[in-house]
Amino acid sequence: MIHFDWIWSFLALPLPYLVYKFFPAAPRQNEAPLHVPFMQDFESYSTDKVQSSGKLLIVLAAIAWLLLVMAAARPQWLGDAVELPVSGRDLMLAVDLSGSMEVEDFQLNGRLVDRLSATKAVATEFIERRNGDRLGLILFGKKAYLQTPLTFDRQTVSTLLGEAVIGLAGKETAIGDAIGLAVKRLEKQSVNSRVLVLLTDGANTAGEVEPLKAAELAKQYQLKIYTIGIGADEMIVRSIFGSRRVNPSADLDEKTLAAIASKTGGKYFRARNTEQLNQIYQLLDQLEPVDKETQSFRPTSALFYWPLSFALLICALIISMRLVTKGRL
């Protein structure tokens, strides 16, 4: 259906008549400087032609004015109502971009990849499933940065996560600052809807806030934190001296991550491979389900350019007719 956003603009329709009625034009001087003896033979013909042309111009001018007012009223085409599921949940993702995330101890589609690549692949699917949540993205290394504020635009969150690179925020790990930034961004949101999913592969080595103090602050603001420790327990390193087994997750501070989750009512998960990481995100879907409440909106398309274009064409036609009439007379 067609809807006029500024329908009060139609109050301007009688404006030309009011101007004509209360502000009449000055009388024209019709005295001719030269009298032609046989001019009376053409008077009736010229008068009829001028009158008919004048009436047509008035009609065209009225139509043009109507179209201009219609364009000013902002006509819009309202489409069919579209329902959107809305949970009212505000969920922040905090992803570690420290140097240790470049360790290649995960497999993705049969090939060895670094931890960040595996995280991107699994987290992107998780983001796509969060239809109805407002999502935000925090990237942290030596410092924590808000990459994406809370938004329903899951595609943008996925895109910006995909563009993240190791070392973008520094080579160290500021877990406490990431939690503090999440608290700051979520403190004004509705209680019982504040969730942070924090993924890291190390221990807090930078930042101004200690992780456990940040967890206490999160608890005060009723921010629930789910922590994920990522990294394999064992991998084979080959060198000129042979092969040896090492623990690439030796720096992972599981005790602190578990304490952060426990203080805030969340859970700590351990992801040693891509399958476990995927299972964790699926479990998060169950722990923090998307509600099925819906909101609806009607897509709109602007139509003002149609009446405006026709009005301009009619104005051009009026000018042309006046020029032709003056030229012939």
174-210 residue pLDDT tens: 999 999 999 998 887 765 678 999 999 888 988 889 9
Q: Is pLDDT of 308 > 60?
A: yes
The predicted structure's pLDDT at residue 42: 47
pLDDT band with cut points at 50, 70 and 90 for residue 88: low
- Residue among 4, 185, 178 nearest 95 (CA): 178
Residue 249 φ/ψ, nearest 5 degrees: -110, 25
Lowest mean pLDDT segment, chosen from 23-27, 70-74, 162-166, 237-241: 237-241
Instruction: In whole angstroms, give the CA distance from residue 234 to residue 236.
Output: 7
Report the amino acid identity of residue 122. V
Nearest to 297 by CA among 5, 82, 86: 82
Task: Name the more confident of 214 and 234.
Answer: 214
Model confidence at 329: pLDDT above 50: no
Which token pair is 202?
Answer: 């190390």
Q: Pairing state of beta strands 224-230 and 75-78?
A: unpaired
* Band of residue 123 on the pLDDT scale cut at 50, 70, 90: very high
Q: Please enumerate in sequence order all residues whose Cβ is within 8 A of that of 288, keeping only pairs 6 or more positions apart, or say none.
A: 89, 91, 195
CA angle 22, 23, 24 (to 5 degrees): 105
What pLDDT score was predicted for residue 26?
Answer: 67
Nearest to 197 by CA among 227, 167, 154, 161: 227
Find the range with the poorest average confidence among 5-19, 150-164, 290-304.
290-304
Is the pLDDT assigned to residue 69 strictly greater than 90?
A: yes
Residue 135 pLDDT: 92
Q: Is the pLDDT of residue 221 over 80?
A: yes
Per-residue pLDDT at 232: 84
Q: Which amino acid is at 281?
A: Y
Model confidence at 170, pLDDT cuts 50, 70, 90, reads: confident
pLDDT digits (tens, 9 = 90+) for 103-122: 888 888 888 889 899 999 99
Considering only 1-5, 115-119, 296-300, which range has the smallest mean pLDDT? 296-300
Note the pLDDT tens digit of each residue in 25-36.
766 655 555 555
Contact, 241 vs 282, CB < 8 A? no
More confident residue, 184 or 42: 184
Say yes or no to pLDDT of 273 above 90. Answer: no
Contact 72, 6 (CB under 8 A): yes
Asked whether residue 68 carries a pLDDT value surpassing 90, the answer given is yes
pTM, rounded to two decimals: 0.62
Structure tokens belonging to residue 73:
């009223």
